[in-house]
Structure 1
Amino acid sequence: MNKKLSVDEILQMNQDYQFFTWTPQKSSLERIAVAGGKGCYFWDFDGNKYLDAGSQLVNLNIGFQDERVVNAIKAQADELCYIAPSYATEIRGRLAKKIITDCAPGMGKVLFTLGGTDANEYALRIAQGYTGRYKVFSQYMSYHGSTYGSSTLNGQAARGNMDPGIAGFVHFLGPWWRDHGLKFETEEEYTEFLLKMLERQMIQENPDKISCLVTETMQGGGGVIEMPKGYLKGIRDLCDKYGILMVCDEVMVGFGRTGKWFTYQHYDGVMPDMITFAKGSTCGYTPFGGVIVSKKIAKYYDDVALPAGLTYNSHPICCATALATIGVYEEDNLLKNSEERGKELLAGLIELDKKHKSVANPRGKGLHTALDLVGGAATGAAHEKLKNMYIDKGVIPYILPPRIVLSPPLIITKEEVQKILEVTDEVLTFADTLV
């Protein structure tokens, strides 16, 4: 039997033998050693309890350790841990039917993957195979993953060591530019400008060469930015005009995060050709993602080999996790709770914006909200201080400098929303001294 490790031993073992992502490795000893979690909270080995205001990586929608999902994982493990993707199983069939009929009605079929990055990779392969074209459009400031193809798809300057990327990937002006000196009288005028610029760029790039346009339905890592009125419908119309497939990246905001199964469902006249998803489908209980395709794409691949294959795609335990997770959303009416608690959270952020000079631009949809830090509060040094203040007060937001992202689990209560707002108020009072 293994002896129980001390907190220091746990931290040191992690420091010595595994990599942490997106960070210099020497910082790992500053981390929290997590002992457990339940609902919206997790705790360390010293008994300190933290309210998770960021749903970990904006994925833990149903909170920690929901017994219904845990039991579904155990039951599937007892029945069948693994069978190759080429075999038909009950759990695969039930999950695929559930997603197509209830979560994304009107679509055709679904390919299951291991997460969001590979879902986006396969969407590109499917699009290029279907259209016979090679170019791909995506927005500046978008985020779609960390593998080579998805990193090239990303529209952010900080792509790590992935440049120069893959030939044929083209980035276009996205809605984040409204914060970079461009002024418009109305939202409709702004949308018209963006769409005119996009069409001009499509023409210059030769539309007959463009396989697909990939867009987040609400920007996540690039700023938590809701698409302006009419924008996604305009993209749909341009894609139809030039025979380009429209791919909606719903990895972060799918499965109830904004109050609908998928965020594109908020907008009339927007039916994607493909939808990619991951985070909220299993809420991190097991690795999972997928690509949902339209009926016309599904029909095309009836007679053409699908250019996809992973040893662990449609893994039985992951499929059981996803089906049970969807059941939790339905049983607990979490899409409605996301909408209602999200309105309360955003209203509170608007009031904090009026009160504090260190923040600006309160925004959000459902339980996906953010505030921008400004001036001296937006520096790297300030970020560390603000993060530590949150930790000391028992709340963990999802901080993406220069902004604070508040995207708690969809199970959150009114009282827990108020606690997040109260702690944020205290943190911003200190942030005001840095401006």
Structure 2
Amino acid sequence: MPDDLTTYHPHKSVADQNRHHVIFPWTKQAGLKPKEIMRAEGVYVWDGSGKRYLDLAAQLACVNAGHQHPRIVRAIQEQAAKLCYAAPQFATEVRGRLAQMIAEVMPGDLNKVYFTSAGAEANEYAVKIARTVTGRPKIIARYRAYHGATHGAMSLTGDWRRAYNEPGMPGTVHAFQPYCYRCTFGQEPGSCARECLTSLEEIIQFENPEFVAAVIVETITGPSNGLYVPPDDYMPKLRALCDKYGIMLICDEVMSGWGRTGEWFAVNNWNVVPDIITTAKGLTNAQVPLGAVVVSGRIAEALEEQTLWAGSTYSGHALACAAGIAAIETYREEGLIENSRRLGTVLLSELQRIQQRHPTVGDVRGRGLFAAIELVKDRGTRAPLMPAREEPYATRGGLGAIKRALDEAGVMVFTRPNLIGISPPLNITEEQLMEGLAALDRALDHADAMLLESAAG
């Protein structure tokens, strides 16, 4: 590849063309060699050489019904022939029907929808709605969380990338979340008294609850920061804490929704009803961009008299809504949520077996087809395998060896420093899942070998 990227060149490949004209996210552009994806079907994708990969990541945990699902493709095609777009101030058949279908599968009385273009935008609108209805300015988010890359959503985000986007949205405060493997408060699961919630209540008091509009959490934190499954009493106690101070609870289900955890939404695992759910990704099987903010009856009633000073050109885009309708029908009729629940048990059991085999696997955790393994140098000290602040696409050290081995085996996973996430399409079979996990098992041998070499040296 020529070094001068400012000069036009005839392109020899799709990757070459992208490299010259596309800015890729979350990484330095120098030396980047993006993998080509030429086509996809079901649980597989194919690169430019024709090599097939088993997609154990569902790309970004978003292709929940499988790649190129024919029912959803057909719905998009049929809608394109009838109505591609209408401005958001107009009523359309697909917008109304999708909103009703979303309300039907939501917990409790969450029954009214504001459509957005993506999950980050949904989280920003959720904040606007909470501030509008409560009249309060502050939002409490959590460290080790990801809510999107737009200005406000990045302010809510609680990882190291936020610092590179500051100054951020005023009124944002961060608290600690239940990272039970590395408890901030030095507790172990058996003796823990939920100090993370005690700390959150103290933060609320110091910030003055009369000024706190909402607490926003990823119900199950996505693999971008570690895929943390809260203890079973955490979400009910969080709901009660918010109720105590009249604070709204916003659950970010952009990644954990639409069957990913073996339930329609992750909150259903604990029978908790938040005030607002934000979602995207699996809402349309990622075949057309669409996000949604779904609010309770109380909030919907308040907005009858209060103006929400917000809007966007693509709110309720007709093609996206058609994809959403078909996606929800697919989840229902093909039993994909039940398959996620059933295979989630298989997945966690197999990951626990892999943990016993590999000294570099410190912890495994998950719910449904939403799981991760955490990599360590030493199980006793829980020292991370590599520095935590590393660009997401980095391929150095043990993680790089694992990624290269998986690439050779034709398996894709979700990787972050010290973390491997497994979140395949929900239509995966047990045989396909076991095939991918066997490849992961073999790939971890490389990290173990590097660990032994390091200890010997």
Give the shorter-chain TM-score range: over 0.9
Q: 2:16 aligns with which of 12, 19, 32?
A: 12
Instruction: Mark the CA change 1:23 to 1:65 in structure 2 (over 3 Å): closer, same or farther.
Output: same
8 Å Cα contact 2:401-2:443 kept in structure 1? no
Structure 2, unpaired ranges of 5+: 1-9, 378-383, 388-395, 452-457
Give, in angstroms, the shift of residue 102 of structure 1. Answer: 2.7
Find the counterpart in structure 1 of residue 26 from structure 2.
22
Q: Percent identity?
A: 38
Find the counterpart in structure 2 of residue 261 from structure 1.
264
Find the counterpart in structure 2 of residue 339 from structure 1.
341
8 Å Cα contact 1:377-1:434 kept in structure 2? no
Q: 1:414 aligns with which of 430, 441, 444?
A: 430
C-alpha distance in structure 2 between counterparts of 1:178 and 1:423, whole Å: 25
- TM-score normalized with structure 2 length: 0.90
Q: 1:130 aligns with which of 129, 133, 142?
A: 133
Q: Which amino acid aligns with 1:73?
A: I
Secondary structure of the structure 2 residue equivalent to 1:290? strand
Moved over 3 A (4+): 180-187, 376-380
Q: Which amino acid aligns with 2:290?
A: F
Structure 1, unpaired ranges of 5+: 1-5
Q: Within 5 A, what are the aligned runs for 1:207-286? A: 207-220=209-222, 221-268=224-271, 270-286=272-288
8 Å Cα contact 2:278-2:291 kept in structure 1? yes
Give, in angstroms, the shift of residue 223 of structure 1. Answer: 0.6
C-alpha distance in structure 2 between counterparts of 1:400 and 1:421, whole Å: 18
Find the counterpart in structure 2 of residue 3 from structure 1.
none
C-alpha distance in structure 1 between counterparts of 2:323 and 2:250, whole Å: 25
Q: Which amino acid aligns with 2:72?
A: V
Give, in angstroms, the shift of residue 413 of structure 1. Answer: 0.3
Give, in angstroms, the shift of residue 31 of structure 1. Answer: 2.1
C-alpha distance in structure 2 between counterparts of 1:417 and 1:235, whole Å: 34
Find the counterpart in structure 1 of residue 399 from structure 2.
383
C-alpha distance in structure 1 between counterparts of 2:273 and 2:121, whole Å: 22
1:355-399 residue CA offsets vs partner (Å, 9 max, x unmatched): 111111111100001101112853643222221211110000011
Find the counterpart in structure 2 of residue 428 from structure 1.
444
Instruction: Mark the CA change 1:112 to 1:191 in structure 2 (over 3 Å): closer, same or farther.
Output: farther
Give, in angstroms, the shift of residue 167 of structure 1. Answer: 2.2
Q: 2:364 aligns with which of 359, 362, 381?
A: 362
Give, in angstroms, the shift of residue 178 of structure 1. Answer: 4.6
Q: Which amino acid aligns with 1:343?
A: T
Give, in angstroms, the shift of residue 335 of structure 1. Answer: 0.4
8 Å Cα contact 2:103-2:111 kept in structure 1? yes
Q: Within 5 A, what are the aligned runs for 1:148-159? A: 148-159=151-162
Q: 1:297 aligns with which of 299, 302, 318?
A: 299
Secondary structure of the structure 1 residue equivalent to 2:89? coil
Q: Within 5 A, what are the aligned runs for 1:181-200? A: 182-184=185-187, 186-187=189-190, 189-200=191-202
1:121 equivalenced with 2:124 (yes/no): yes
Instruction: Mark the CA change 1:358 to 1:212 in structure 2 (over 3 Å): closer, same or farther.
Output: same
1:136-194 residue CA offsets vs partner (Å, 9 max, x unmatched): 1011111101111111101112225212322211101111265156444655x525322
Q: Which one is further off, 56-65 or 154-163?
A: 154-163
Give, in angstroms, the shift of residue 406 of structure 1. Answer: 0.8
Find the counterpart in structure 2 of residue 141 from structure 1.
144
Give, in angstroms, the shift of residue 229 of structure 1. Answer: 2.1
1:401 equivalenced with 2:405 (yes/no): no
C-alpha distance in structure 1 between counterparts of 2:160 and 2:48, whole Å: 39
8 Å Cα contact 1:346-1:363 kept in structure 2? yes
Find the counterpart in structure 2 of residue 201 from structure 1.
203
Find the counterpart in structure 1 of residue 315 from structure 2.
313
C-alpha distance in structure 2 between counterparts of 1:185 and 1:342, whole Å: 25
Instruction: Mark the CA change 1:182 to 1:17 in structure 2 (over 3 Å): closer, same or farther.
Output: same
Instruction: Mark the CA change 1:181 to 1:131 in structure 2 (over 3 Å): closer, same or farther.
Output: closer
Q: Which amino acid aligns with 1:325?
A: A
Q: Within 5 A, what are the aligned runs for 1:8-157? A: 8-28=12-32, 30-157=33-160
C-alpha distance in structure 1 between counterparts of 2:181 and 2:361, whole Å: 17
C-alpha distance in structure 1 between counterparts of 2:55 and 2:359, whole Å: 25
1:29-61 residue CA offsets vs partner (Å, 9 max, x unmatched): x22212211100011232210000101011111
8 Å Cα contact 1:191-1:228 kept in structure 2? no
Q: Which one is further off, 72-81 or 178-187?
A: 178-187
Q: State the number of aligned residues.
A: 427
C-alpha distance in structure 2 between counterparts of 1:206 and 1:155, whole Å: 21
Secondary structure of the structure 1 residue equivalent to 2:273? coil
C-alpha distance in structure 2 between counterparts of 1:178 and 1:406, whole Å: 18
8 Å Cα contact 1:7-1:33 kept in structure 2? no
Instruction: Mark the CA change 1:239 to 1:356 in structure 2 (over 3 Å): closer, same or farther.
Output: same
C-alpha distance in structure 2 between counterparts of 1:173 and 1:191, whole Å: 14
Q: Which one is further off, 382-391 or 341-350?
A: 382-391
